[in-house]
Structure 1
Amino acid sequence: QQKAEAASKLDELDETRTELGKKKKEVQAKLSEAQKLLNSLTAAQRASLEAAENRANRSNERVDLGNDLPASSLAAAALSAAKTKLGSPYVYGATGPSSFDCSGLTSWAYAQAGAGIPRTSQSQANAGTRLSMSQLMPGDLVIFYGDLHHVGLYAGNGQVLHAPRTGTVVRYESINNMPFQFGVRI
């Protein structure tokens, strides 16, 4: 029986390894495509893009988060932990404490608050109660894009605290800058 269970686990691990390999190839292809696009930009376009990125990072110094109360003390603690990481660099696959990807930041923040949540944005999308945009409260997870590949923490007043992408840092951004799917209350 133990041998059968071990064989079953090995099969599951092989399937997971295969799936992760496929995902890695997809990510590498997207990264390669993005790099080609970036390389095709003129110097003026690059300067404009860099200026816009700098404005986005500077704007975090004066973000109005409003007066909304967090959904719970757990959500408040997670959001508070994430705020301490403002300015930390985005690194794909990073889970802190000095660099993060999107779901690395949210899972790290909730771990600091004493709650374990899944590691990936797709898994985090199913980790709690789903919410519409009007139901969001500070500390709720916010899921973006149709394939659920991005997550952040709702910070209040239409702002999300998140780790956006390579070349950026943990920062606040308008919830309307990305295609909102739903919120999740842990």
Structure 2
Amino acid sequence: MPVDQAAGILAPGVMSPTDFGFDALPELPEPAIPDVSGKRQAIIDDALTQIGKWYVWGGESDAEGGFDCSGLLFWAFTKNGVDIPRVSGAQAARGKRVDITKLRPGDLVAWENNPEAPGADHIALYLGDGWILEAPRTGLKVRKRKLRANEGAWGVAMDY
């Protein structure tokens, strides 16, 4: 097998991935969501069913064609009997502000993107292990993603 000894790699064009018995890179693993129970687990489970639904400003149901960030949380929490306000700023104020590292699955993650309007203007559900579920913005769908350290977000510990 021709190898570039200096770089320690196969010479270009000599072999393809199928020569090694695979034809694609492996998928990234799903987030390792810590074991939770009760209403927290029910809220997470219900919210996860909305992955792939369109972001719709003001939306809080399939009947409206999708969800905005706070509408998604409002839908999942109220479906499970937890009283939560409808808009992101009020949702963020509903819990206690904490460092992201102190969050438990089922808590919230909030952002302030507009300094002219203080308070949370985007919000997401914390899934655990640094993963969130969000309805991001117009043109995108509800998704799971890893929270990045430099996003300027803060945690909201919920008391349900």
Question: TM (normalized to structure 2)?
Answer: 0.70
* Cα drift, residue 138 of structure 1: 1.2
Give the distance between the partners of 2:29 and 2:50, measured in 1 at CA. Answer: 15
Query: Where in structure 2 are there 5+ consecutive unaligned residues?
Result: 1-26, 114-118
**Larger Rg computed on CA atoms:** 2
RMSD, aligned α-carbons:
1.9
Distance 1:63 1:129, change over 3 A: farther
Q: Deviations over 1:113-168 (max 9, x none)?
A: 11120001100011123322111111111112254100000112211101000000
User: Between the two proteins, what is the percent identity of the paired residues?
Assistant: 37
Q: Please say if 1:145 is aligned against 2:112.
A: yes
Give the distance between the partners of 1:166 and 1:178, measured in 2 at CA. Answer: 19
Give the distance between the partners of 1:63 and 1:116, measured in 2 at CA. Answer: 33
Residue number in structure 1 paired with 2:34 = 68
Distance 1:131 1:93, change over 3 A: same
Paired residue type of 2:124: G
Q: Deviations over 1:8-43 (max 9, x none)?
A: xxxxxxxxxxxxxxxxxxxxxxxxxxxxxxxxxxxx
Give the distance between the partners of 1:143 and 1:63, measured in 2 at CA. Answer: 25
Q: 2:127 aligns with which of 151, 155, 162?
A: 155
Residue number in structure 1 paired with 2:12 = none
Residue number in structure 2 paired with 1:185 = 158
Give the distance between the partners of 2:70 and 2:134, measured in 1 at CA. Answer: 9
Distance 1:90 1:63, change over 3 A: farther
Q: Please say if 1:81 is aligned against 2:53.
A: no
Query: Where in structure 1 are there 5+ consecutive unaligned residues?
Result: 1-60
* Cα drift, residue 63 of structure 1: 5.0
Q: Please say if 1:114 is aligned against 2:87.
A: no
**Which structure dedicates a bigger proportion of its chain to strand?**
2
Question: TM (normalized to structure 1)?
Answer: 0.61
Aligned residues: 125
Give the distance between the partners of 2:29 and 2:55, measured in 1 at CA. Answer: 20
Residue number in structure 2 paired with 1:172 = 144
Give the distance between the partners of 1:169 and 1:115, measured in 2 at CA. Answer: 25
Q: 1:99 aligns with which of 66, 72, 76?
A: 66
Once superposed, which parts of structure 1, at least 4 consecutive aligned residues long, lie more than 3 Å away? none
Give the distance between the partners of 2:69 and 2:48, measured in 1 at CA. Answer: 14
1:168 aligns to what SS in structure 2?
A: coil
Distance 1:145 1:158, change over 3 A: same
